[in-house]
Amino acid sequence: MTDPEGTTVTTPLLEVTDLAISFSHPRPAVRSVSVTVDEGEVVALVGESGSGKSMTARAVIGLLPDGAKATGSVRLRGEELLGLPEPELIRYRGRRVAMVFQEPQTALNPVRTIGWQIGEALRAHGGVRGKAARARAVDLLREVEIPDPEERLGYYPHQLSGGQKQRVVLALALANEPELLLADEPTTALDVTVQAEILALLRRIRDRTGTSILIITHNMGVVAHLADRVVVLRQGEVVEEAATRDLFADPRHAYTRQLLAAVPRLPGPDERVHAVTDDDVPAVAADAVAALEYDDVRVHYGSRMRGRVLPAVDGVTLRLERGQVLGLVGESGSGKTTLGRLAAGLVPLAGGSVRVGGEDLVRARGQRRVDLRRRLAFVHQDPEASLDPRFSIAEAIREPLDVHAVGSRKDRDVRVTELLDAVRLPASFARRRPRELSGGQRQRVALARALTLDPELLIADEPTSALDVSVQAEVLELFADLQQRLGFACVFISHDLAVVNKVADQVAVLRAGRVVESGSAARVFGAPTHDYTRQLLAAVPVPDPTVRDATGPALREQHIAS
Amino acid sequence: MGHYLLRRLPSALVVLAIASFGIFALVRMVPGDPVSSLAGPDATPEARAAIRADLGLDQPLVTQYVHWLGRLAHGDFGTSYRIGGQVKDLVADGAVNTIVLTVTALLLAAIVALVASVLAVVLDNRWVNAALSFGNTLAIALPTFVTGLVLILLFAVVFPVLPAGGTPPDGFLARPDIAAQYLLLPAVCLALGAGAALTRFLTEALRTELRQPYVTTARALGIPRRRIVLTQALRNALPSAVTVLGIQFGTLLGGAVLVEAIFTWPGLGGLIEEAISGRDYPLVQVLLLLSVVVFVAIQLLTDVIHAWLDPRVRIGGAS
Amino acid sequence: MSESLIDVAAPEATHPDDQFDTRRRPGLWTALRRGKGLAGLILIGAVVALGLLGPLLAPHGPTEQIPGANLVGPSGAHWLGTDEVNRDILSRTLYGIRTDLLVVFLAVPIGAAIGILVGLVSSWWTFTDVLAQRLFDLVLAFPTLILAIGLTAFVGPGLRTVFFVIVAVELPVFGRLTRTSVRTVREMPYVEAAHVVGAGSLWQLRRHVLPNSLEPLLVQLAVSMSVAVFIEGAMSFLGLGVRPPQPSLGSLIRDGVRNMYDAPFFAVGPLAVVVALVLGLLLVSQALAEARRA
Amino acid sequence: MRRSTRPLHALALAVVGLLVVGVLSSCSSAVDEASGASGDSGPSDGGTLRIGSTSDIVPASIFTNSSDATNTLIGAVYDSLIDYPLDNLDPEPRLATSWQVAKDGLSITLQLRDDVKFHTGREFTSKDVEFSIKTWADPTWTVQLQRTAAAITGFDTSDPHAITLTFDHKLSNIFDLLDMVPIIDSETFDQLKTGKAYVGTGPFVFKSWTPSSKLTFTKNPDYWGDEPHLDGIEVDIVSDPQAQVSQLRSGQLDLVTGASNRDLETLGKDSKFSVTGFDGAVQQIYVGADLANPDLQDVKLRQAIAYAIDRERIVDEVFRGQGTPINLPWPDYSPAYDAEANKTYTYDPAKAKALVAQLGDSPTIPLAYPAGNANYEAVAQIVQSDLEAVGIKTQLQPAEYSQFIKQLIGGTFGGLWILQHGYAHYTPSTLAVSAYPFNADKNASHFVSKDYKEHADAAWNQDSGSSPEAVAEYKKLNKDLLDNLFLIEMALLHFQTAETKSVHGLNMSKRGELDLRSTYLSD
């Protein structure tokens, strides 16, 4: 455990001063950022989109996009990097400063083997070749804790899981033993458990090799978990800088406080105690018609023609009462999304039945089907794509009404305005196009659109996962509010347990197409009975540095387990 | 790879089946018949009747179709009405010339495209780019029949350094150096358009690849851009390029008809024109069917190569 | 306060790294107002203008045979000279443009329209989709010129044939393109959304799929138009094109080629026009394509 | 950017190299190899004559001089019994040394050479004459004069070196037949059908045929006549006239038969080339009228057309003066030639207008012509505008050759058409009884006339084609043709070839076959 105060005496490893980056379009991406990273230190750059955190990192390694103009200074051990010509920079990149990116799926060359790519990284700096290179590659893979590395060398990226890919990316970065490692949202694209493993790995690498790490993230949990020191950015400027514990303990700047406030939290250990006690059977009359019923539902993916049929959902039985919110949680591939799409009638059913308000959705035909559909709505994960780019906001919201020819043109427009109001968007937005809106605003529009026909059932598939924390908080709050007011039932799908915890009454934990545990949110999160649920909960990085060391060892166990 | 072919094969066969019938029927719907083009202006009715019988055209269509298929199955393509020779031989002779021409053109196009696009991307100098894009736009914009004639006029008539047309007198193998000269003008003429299109595509593909995250990764590792282009981007752009190459081959075959006419290159183009205008049913049928076969084959081939070049298709994902 | 947070996000895209790919993507039309696009439009415009004003500009009738003026070179009287049956080449070129304009701006759109329709409708159900694709395969299996030769055997040479061929060639091209873009657009969440709220196939096609598939089709249209000029030229060159005495750029070039040695000047005019027209269309298509990619 | 790209430059160079390999790296130039040197130094032996031909041979119709390649083949490989000189109709010996027509004109006896061998080495006898004539009579070969050959009923082949042919009626054009029939080898006849082998007694031996590409011949060392100078002949099929000229210019060909008249004119002016015309071997270009079309039934309209066409212009501008305007098909040496009658219809738009005026306006008449031939296209367009000038509207209908012929045979033009015909330079009766457009029994014009038929047969049934009686009959025929105008003759055209200056001693038979027996290449 290096102590920040201890290292400030020597000249810092990285020293960024008054960095400003501007593009053709008016608002500069980075106004003025100064950051220092000391030997063996882990510094977190925190901020929401538009804060310029990634730009800063890219400026350090000299990979700014074309047309970006950077001023100020970036010093590595006192050597100025900013404005060095390409050939010079190449000598630093990978050799002394390395970078890990957000999206492991695309960060590796899909048509080259892992071994080749590591070899290439070594070659780049006239490193070892042939047998020696191979040996080194194996060591690297071992270092990032990839099982039987010799064999993996011959693998192509697509043969590895997301986590393994990210480990390979790390291995590449570490290939030439850099002094500074830039990690840009290294775990954002990963499942919680994998994320936990990678975070743990990063820490161990730091401990083992003493490599300094500058980590860029928007996730306070990650920060609390990994960073020694935090630098908070907003709109290209540093708003606050402090040691992690101090920052969490008493955030000085309003924005920082807001950020922390916005982070959804799971019941802490103390809360859990009494959480167990409360009863997990919702009080409802047995004969009441459920809003949604899954009865031994099965869904297959892959076509019979290709010969490979794999179950996406495998015998799920769930019941959602009217006016309740059912949270579906699970990691990628757990089948939660499929369940949601099933309820919306978007995927063919292989077995069992899905009943919406007591009626079988799949078998319904013709007008009955249309009527059924009118009663449910769907909110898609990606606000980018969920609105037709050619439609104005008004048209988008109005479409369901147009489809079912509800009321006169006038009534519809009235409805649009009231919906916009309901999702707290100014009526003036009606004429705008989706691309003129921010992600959060788009998601609100999507919500409004879903509510147009006062559905009895709303299916929300990861509605906030693409949003910034603060925006996410806004939307969730809005959602909860609307759900209270309009009293529709809702299937809320998310990989983020904290988010689900915030909105859901009932929770079903899914794994590999099966429900491993379900019950009231408080109960499931408070007193999980199933190991997997516990694992998930344990893996969530708690936005509180004090619990870091507590969870640390727990993670290691898991890692060995997996 | 195997299952790949297997999956494609049925639909390919369907296409061929439909094609064979469609062609057979269409060919016979065409006004004007082989007899009159054989008999010539001064033939007597009995003469034409005799010829008709001689060609077996007096039998019902269905029988003719069945017979035709039957013979095809046994590799007997029939004999040409007009030319008299075995259709097999005729097609073979023409095919050799056409293939030599188109394949050469294809190679030229591919090589030029490869070099030009890599140059354009590696030294992404605005002047080089401007020059290249101007060049290949012009190359696409100039009709084959124009470039062909200009080439002849320049290199055969004004400065008679190259033959104006025809195939090398003693084959392609006997005197390669001579053959090369006979091949040069038509091949270049044919390759121009395809080469330009290919260059355009490849350059674009490379640029797109260079925008991919893995390139950023590589650059962040300090690998020089040029090396990335050559060892990574190119390798990634290749599969789609192959597909385009396949399409281009089709268009080349089409262009060959014209180029062969301009350079009096005795290939399939001339043959098919002659066959159709002579209503030489056996020849027409086989030639048309052949072009379908070639098309289908190329589609299959490109698919397979594509699959083979792309590990994601070749090796199923593990996770 | 909370509002301010949203405003922070407002002008930016939602992905952490999106700052630098400007969302203000130039529309297709703006692409035609500068650089390549503009150049292309100007070229096309010039040719179209020549064609439309042909009758006013042409010093002679397109088929008027001027006694004595047999294949004479360019002169004050005949700027581009005369052809082997004493007609003023300039006049014929101007009228010839009209023929090609007809082919480019009528035949291609017709073929495109039919193709798009077939592609749209067929792609919605697997069966029709497979059927249509196979048929398209079949047509595409024949090199254009072979198709042309075949068709000519049916209907004899003439503008009509050129029309048929172009329609026949473009139909599958657009059919396919439509099909692929439909396939992609259909998967888009917003189409799904419409589906979920109960919009029927027709609604989805009309309101979402078609409008969002138009851009690639537009680019293809420009490309196809340039191809059409080639087809007309090539067919006339092989004597399958328009019937004399009607002039077309292709037939003029062919006549010019026939007199390559005696009258090198002959083909120059028509050639220039063809190249200008094709170049213009190409530039436009490239501009559009680049605008799309941006 | 300042980045070294040496490997790429290397690659680029490699490609550029590859592109110019043909030109630079080659030790010898295809062009030099191809072009025969020029400059004349008297008849010299050796060398291969490379001839450019427009259309390939068609084995199924090898005996109808339907393509220039066919003509070259027949001329090179086969001998006929007698030869007509180009400019008259007095038979000269070839395989037949002398002949005697019987008094009654119903038989002829020919003495045959005894020193003639087929290329297979087999001796030539009277049997072969019989076989050849009988083949000629077989309708499947659709030859000219098939009817004449069929009219020969008796063959006396008792003497291997003499033959007596007996006819079932008088044949004024028997010598035409003897001139046309090539003496073919009966043993290899099957191969002839399939285009595998052509065996005759002629000056050159058939070597090979690559369809739609080339024909090759080598000289026949033991030819009964003077041994040919040339070692061999190569016929290259170059369908595009333009390309033929290009290849002649680039030295890939020594002689072309398909050059357009305009190119011939230019080549004639070029010091490196010469153009040879063969006056006797002629074709006639005409406008046919299908009387099935009601508008064309009135002879006035046909006369109007005959007056409206500017034949001079067509000859001058399209055929570059290589021809003569005509009203009747005959060349001046033909016994049927009549200078006066040949001037019946001269260019006279006024008269034409007047005639049209009498008829009132007629609807548009289709005007068909074989597509893809520059001359036909030009003529058609001139005719169209000439007719338009006098108020006759026509619509051009270019048709593929095969379709065109079908229409001709079926008589389905339903309007006007433009085409060429031959056989007017033989005994006049040949034309009326054999050449399809003129055939008195059935023709594309649907012209039926008792008189015409009688006159035609009468002209045929003469013991000599040039006897005063015959000439009298021809006069009647001429009158029929001029009065009825179902065919409106426009011009009489001469065969022309263009060759390099190194080609000498070219001849042509009346059949339009190149006669290369005394041809040689100077070096």
Domain ranges in chain A are 14-262, 281-375+457-539, 386-454
User: How near does any CA of chain C get to the CA of B174, in Å?
Assistant: 32
Distance from CA of B5 to the nearest CA of C (A): 17
Average pLDDT of the residues in A195-218: 89
Tell me what the mean pLDDT of segment C80-106 comes to. Answer: 92
Inter-residue contact D119 to D220 (CB < 8 Å): yes
| Cβ-Cβ contacts under 8 Å, D408 against chain B | 41
Q: What percentage of chain D exceeds 90 in pLDDT?
A: 53
Please spell the DSSP secondary structure of A492-545, one letter per residue.
EEES-HHHHHHH-SEEEEEETTEEEEEEEHHHHHHS--SHHHHHHHHHSPPS-G
**pLDDT tens sequence across D113-125:** 999 999 999 999 9
What's the pLDDT band for D519 if we cut at 50, 70, 90? very high
* Secondary structure string (H, E, C) spanning C27-88: CHHHHCCCHHHHHHHHHHHHHHHHHHHHHHHCCCCCCCCCCCCCCCCCCCCCCCCECCCCCE
Are D371 and C84 within 8 A, CB to CB? Answer: no
What is the chain A residue with the closest CA to B213? A107
What's the rounded Cα separation, in Å, for the pair B189 and B139?
10
pLDDT tens for C194-230 read 888 778 888 888 888 888 888 888 888 988 998 898 8
Q: Among B69-83, B297-311, D140-154, which is the least confidently predicted range?
A: B69-83
pLDDT confidence of residue C294: 61
CA distance D4 to chain C (A): 29
Angle formed by the axes of helices A130-143 and A114-124, to 10°?
110
Task: Count Cβ neighbours within 10 Å for each residue of A358-391 and write b for 16 or more, e otherwise.
Answer: eeebbebeeeebbebbbbbbbbbbbbbbbbbeeb
Cβ contact B189:B147 at 8 Å: yes
Band (A285; pLDDT cuts 50, 70, 90): low
Within 8 A by CB and 6+ apart from B274, the residues are B82, B280, D56, D212
Per-residue model confidence as pLDDT tens digits over B225-274:
889 999 899 988 888 888 888 888 888 888 888 888 888 788 888 788 77
Q: Which of A256, A264, A259, A265 is nearest to A470 (CA)?
A: A259
C121 in Cβ contact with C128 (< 8 Å): yes
The average pLDDT across C29-39 equals 82
* pLDDT-based confidence at residue D11 (cuts at 50, 70, 90): very low
Mutation choice for B interface testing from D21, D409, D419 by most B CBs within 10 A: D409
**Average pLDDT in chain A:** 83
Confidence of residue A492 (pLDDT cuts 50, 70, 90): very high
Q: Report the share of chain B in percent with pLDDT over 70.
A: 92
Residue D311 C-alpha, separation from nearest chain B C-alpha, in angstroms: 25
Q: Please tell me what DSSP assigns to residue A65.
A: P
- pLDDT, residue A555, reads 40
Structure tokens at D517: 């027996």
- Whether the upstream peptide bond of residue C245 has omega within 30° of 0, thus cis, is yes
Q: Are B164 and D26 in contact (CB under 8 A)?
A: no
Best of D6, D31, D214, D215 to mutate (most B CBs within 10 Å, chain B): D31
Q: In terms of CA atoms, which chain D residue is nearest residue B268?
A: D212
Interface test with A, best of B217, B226, B230, B235 (most A CBs within 10 A): B217
Amino acid B319: pLDDT? 37
Residue D462 has pLDDT above 60, yes or no: yes
Q: Which pLDDT band, with edges at 50, 70 and 90, does D26 fall under?
A: very low
Name the residue among C11, C24, C196 with its Cβ closest to that of A373.
C196
- Asked if C245 has any chain D CB less than 8 Å from its own CB, the reply is yes
Considering the domain A281-375+457-539, what is its CATH architecture? Answer: 3-Layer(aba) Sandwich (3.40)
Q: How confident is the model at residue A377 (pLDDT cuts 50, 70, 90)?
A: confident
Mean pLDDT of C39-66: 92
What band does B2 get if pLDDT is binned at 50, 70 and 90?
low
A37 DSSP β-pair partners: A14
Distance CA D221, CA C201 (A): 83
Alpha-carbon gap, residue A449 to B279, rounded angstroms: 65
Q: How far apart are CA A321 and CA A344, in angstroms?
A: 17
Q: Tens digit of pLDDT for each residue in A452-473? A: 888 889 999 888 877 888 888 8
CA–CA gap between residue A430 and residue A410 (Å, rounded): 14
* Position A446 pLDDT exceeds 70: yes
Q: Which residue has the higher pLDDT, A154 or D44?
A: A154
Would A14-262 and A281-375+457-539 be classified into the same CATH topology?
yes
Confidence at residue D423, expressed as pLDDT on a 0 to 100 scale: 85
> CA of A414, closest CA in chain C: separation in Å?
20
Q: Which residue in the set D262, D384, D400 is minimally distant from C84, CB to CB?
A: D262
Judged against a pLDDT cut of 90, whether residue C275 lies above it is answered with: no
Residue D325, phi then psi, degrees to nearest 5: -65, 140
Residue A3 clears pLDDT 70, i.e. is over it: no
Residue A146 or residue B3, greater confidence: A146
Residue corresponding to tokens 């299959």: B300
Confidence band, pLDDT 50/70/90 cuts, at residue A380: confident
| Touching chains, B (3+ CB pairs < 8 A) | A, C, D
Distance (Å, whole) CA A556 – CA D41: 104
Q: What is the pTM of this model?
A: 0.79
Whether residue A225 contacts residue A541, with contact meaning beta carbons closer than 8 Å, is answered with: yes
**pLDDT reading at D21 higher than 70:** no
So what's the pLDDT on residue D516? 93
Q: Give contacts of C239 with chain D, Cβ < 8 Å.
A: 371-372, 398
Average the pLDDT over D150-175 and give the result.
92
- Residue-level pLDDT at B4: 65
Strands A180-184 and D152-156: unpaired
Least confident of A299-308, C103-112, D400-409, D451-460: A299-308
* Residue from the list C13, C24, C193 with its beta carbon closest to the beta carbon of A380: C193
Q: Which fold has domain A14-262?
A: Rossmann fold (3.40.50)
CA distances from D433 to A262, D63, D427, D442 (A): 109, 18, 11, 10
CB D234 within 8 A of CB D246: no
Q: What mean pLDDT do residues D102-130 have?
A: 93
| Probe site for chain A from C196, C207, C209, C215 (most A CB atoms < 10 A) | C196
For residue B284, what are the contacts with CB-CB under 8 A and spacing of at least 6?
Answer: B23, B27, B272, B275, B276
pLDDT averaged over chain D?
86
Domains, chain B: 99-279 (1.10.3720.10)
| Residue-averaged pLDDT of chain C | 82
Q: How far apart are CA D296 and CA D362, in angstroms?
A: 9
Residue that wins the pLDDT comparison between A437 and D287: D287
pLDDT interval class at A302 (50, 70, 90): low
Give A62's contacts (C-beta < 8 A, 6+ positions apart): A81, A82, A84, A89, A92, A93
List C-alpha distances in Å: A412 to A148, A415, D393.
63, 5, 66
Confidence of residue A195 (pLDDT cuts 50, 70, 90): confident
| Residue A301 pLDDT grade (very low, low, confident, very high; cuts 50, 70, 90) | confident
Residue type present at position D239: S
- Chain D closest-CA separation from residue C240 CA (Å): 8
Question: What was the pLDDT predicted at D105?
Answer: 87
Query: In degrees, to the nearest 5, what angle opens at C-alpha A152 toward C-alphas A150 and A155?
Result: 135
**Is residue A553 pLDDT above 70, yes or no?**
no
- Is the pLDDT at C25 greater than 70? The verdict is no
The larger pLDDT score, comparing residue A123 to residue D217, is at D217
**Least confident interval from A318-322, C18-22, C250-254, D295-299:** C18-22
Q: Quote the CA–CA distance of D275 and D262 in Å, as a whole number.
A: 12
pLDDT tens-digit readout, D485-516: 999 999 999 889 999 999 999 999 988 899 99
Is C243 touching D (CB cutoff 8 A)?
yes
Residue B224, chain A, CB below 8 Å: the answer is yes
Type of residue found at B160: P
Residue A103: pLDDT band (50, 70, 90) is confident
Give the Cβ contact number of residue A348 at 10 Å.
9
Q: Mean pLDDT of all residues in chain B?
A: 82
AA identity, residue B262: I
Q: Is the pLDDT of residue D95 over 90?
A: yes
Question: pLDDT tens digits, residue range D328-385?
Answer: 999 988 999 999 999 999 999 999 999 999 987 778 999 999 887 888 999 999 999 9
- D58: which chain B residues are within 8 Å (Cβ-Cβ)? 38, 82-84
Residue B30 and residue B279 in contact, taking contact as beta carbons nearer than 8 Å: yes
Write the pLDDT tens digit of every residue in B188-221.
999 998 898 899 889 988 988 998 889 989 989 8
Q: Which two tokens stand for residue D321?
A: 């003066």
Cα separation values, B158 from B164, D30, D244, D262, Å: 11, 16, 16, 19
End-to-end CA distance of chain D: 61
